[in-house]
Amino acid sequence: MHRPTALGLLLACAVSLSSSAVFLENGMPILWAQTAGQVTDLPIQNGILTPNPWHFLHRMSLYRLMIAATDPFMGSMGTNATDSPLWGLPLQLGWMLTSGRLADPTGATTCGLQTGDTMCVSTQSWWGCVNYFASALPFLSAAQQGFMGEGVQVQMLVPEGLADHCTTYADCAAHYPDAMSKWDAFFQGLKSATESPLPENEKKDALLGLYWAAQMASTYASAACNAKQSHYSSVEVSFANSWLNSAEYVSAAHFQSNLDKSAKFISPLPSRVLQEGDSAPNIADLSQEENHTLSVFSWMNSINNLLGGTLVRLWRSSMCSVNTREKGREMLEQLLLNPSFATNTFMSIVTGMTTSC
């Protein structure tokens, strides 16, 4: 892995200089060219891979290696090299970096700051903590399932004083059995899909179902990070919770989080950490798109809370077939990307879809 170039660092620090977060560089996830292209590019101690997921380039490398290793099994996703649903993960991590969400929110260190180590992922960052469950855990599972090579062992490095993160496959399987078994099921499913007689669209839908089941299990396991929310403003915490809640919708619809589609959904996310007093849709230094997304997220979360979780349950039950999931994906795109798509339209369509199940 190369050290970040001046350009890379400049991009990584472009936190509030543009109307939306910079997370792509030459059409790829930011700093992608400087990540590990092969497993042996990662540090190895005593024959064991020892990546440091608290260094941005190492964590991004986990994604690059997983995508490369699983690509031969992703035929049902499409003909493009960027059709794998795993592409959503590095884009999300890039957005977290450039929007300042991986930096130390306590101000006690310069970790992740422009004035400090820009590649540092703070152990105090709630976002960095939640993302650990969507990077380290799937990588450990992929290695266990043989995707990183025969018998490859992995141990994640841990900064001093951080005791609450599992670092090996056995450790994570003991602490988070549901998440690890679902990632295992996804990686095993990829292998068996190549032999499956199912039509390509059904095969694709089934694999996306396994992928999102694993992704959501990681999200639920990341409740271990909850205490770190105390470092943020109530506005950022509210956004963070609605961001988590939005995953319920994309997962139930089996969203194909390839590079192109993920970029559309991540582009309007807020390009900086939210502060007290920020009130969408009237946050002056955020773009119209960012304000719109914050408003929609907030609306979906508050309606769901108001209805005691009914909106998520209603949505899940309406996503009951390959056909309704396809409609659901189209509707989510409309809701998030088309400001004229009314929220009441969304409600009436969802209610109608549940009756067709």
Query: Helix H segments across the chain?
Result: 6-12, 56-70, 88-98, 126-132, 136-144, 169-175, 177-193, 200-221, 234-252, 259-266, 288-306, 310-318, 322-337, 343-355
Model pLDDT, residue 297 = 87
Low-confidence ranges of the chain (pLDDT < 50): 2-18
Percent of the chain topping pLDDT 90: 71
Which pLDDT belongs to residue 1? 55
pTM, two decimals, is: 0.91
Query: Is residue 335 packed enough to be buried (19+ CB in 10 Å), middle (13-18) or exposed (0-12)?
Result: buried
* Tokens found for residue 250: 């994309």
Residue 67 to residue 319: CA distance in whole angstroms: 27
One-letter identity of residue 36: A
- Report pLDDT digits (tens) over 150-169: 999 999 999 887 777 899 99
- As given in the structure block, the two tokens for residue 29 are 């996830």
Give the position of tokens 């099994």.
73
What pLDDT is stored for residue 214 in this prediction? 98
Short-list 152, 205, 169, CA closest to 39 = 152
Residue-level pLDDT at 343 = 67
pLDDT for res 334: 83
